[in-house]
Amino acid sequence: MTSVSGSRLYIGTVIAAGIGLLVYFAPRELKHPVLASALLASTLVLSVWKLRLPIGNGVSTMSLAYAVDFVALIMEGASLAMLLGAIGVLIQCTVRVRRKQPIHRAAFSAAAVIIAVQVAGMGWHALEGSLTNLTLMTTVLPLMVCAITYFVVNTSLVVGAIAVTTSSSPRQAWSPEFLRAAPAYLVAAFVAGMVALAILNGTVVLLPIVASPLLVVYRGYHRRWNTIASTVLGRGAVRAGAPAAV
């Protein structure tokens, strides 16, 4: 099997799996349409404000919209969460982009999120996660497991895609920046839990305060990755023989 056919098979399989899960588990009705609409609006906004993650010789994007996925998952279930996640990724791949993305790349990204959300939802239910019986074992631990599972599944699928499309091993395709992004998922899960509790207790006025750690995370990663990108560009300029860039 050639590398081209191998990459097509891998990407096609992930996309097919994502479509299958979306069709099978798509919500047939909304229990709380107002909440679902608010979550959708939040997804659309957060998906536009994204971070460009430098990996190897390329760039990947990451938004904090997965915090909304976590809120939807623990309040409404994985079915709505995966739908919102897919919509968010498609917005992320098509709005405010420097270059137009091929349709199969956007489809793969959406499928990876769908799969990650479903697996994370399994973890939440397996640990009997609860927003009413608030304990370390019934709320905090399931939330952390959701975040870690989401990160591992989504990142692994992306690394696999990089590996098959560049004819490299998963180890070579792995970027340290992926691991450095992991804490953001844990923060997002924590914020999601606090947001869910604020909504359930009718204290929505506190939502801006509760969600503020996301802004801190966004600004921190934005500053770090902009610095890395500037350093890489500077080194590129020096190698290209542009001493004025030093």
Rounded to an integer, the average pLDDT of 103-108 is 90
User: What's the pTM?
Assistant: 0.84
Q: Token match 């001493």: residue?
A: 243
- Cα diameter, the chain: 63
**Cα 130 to Cα 17, 24, 75, 196, 210, distances in angstroms:** 29, 25, 9, 11, 19
- Of the pLDDT bands very low, low, confident and very high (cuts 50, 70, 90), residue 58 is low
Q: What share of the chain is helix, strand, coil (3-state, %, to 5)?
A: 75, 5, 20
Rounded to an integer, the average pLDDT of 32-43 is 94
What is the domain class of 3-245 according to CATH? mainly alpha
Please give the mean pLDDT across all residues of the chain.
Answer: 83
- Of the pLDDT bands very low, low, confident and very high (cuts 50, 70, 90), residue 234 is very low
Q: What percent of the chain has pLDDT over 70?
A: 85
pLDDT over 90 (residue 215): no
Instruction: Please report, for the chain, the start and end positions of each structural domain, with discontinuous segments joined by +.
Output: 3-245
pLDDT over 70 (residue 53): no
Q: Give the model confidence (pLDDT) of 107-156 as tens digits.
A: 999 999 999 999 999 999 999 999 999 999 999 999 999 999 999 999 99
Q: Cα–Cα–Cα angle for 139, 140, 143, nearest 5°? A: 85
What is residue 162's predicted lDDT score, i.e. its pLDDT? Answer: 85
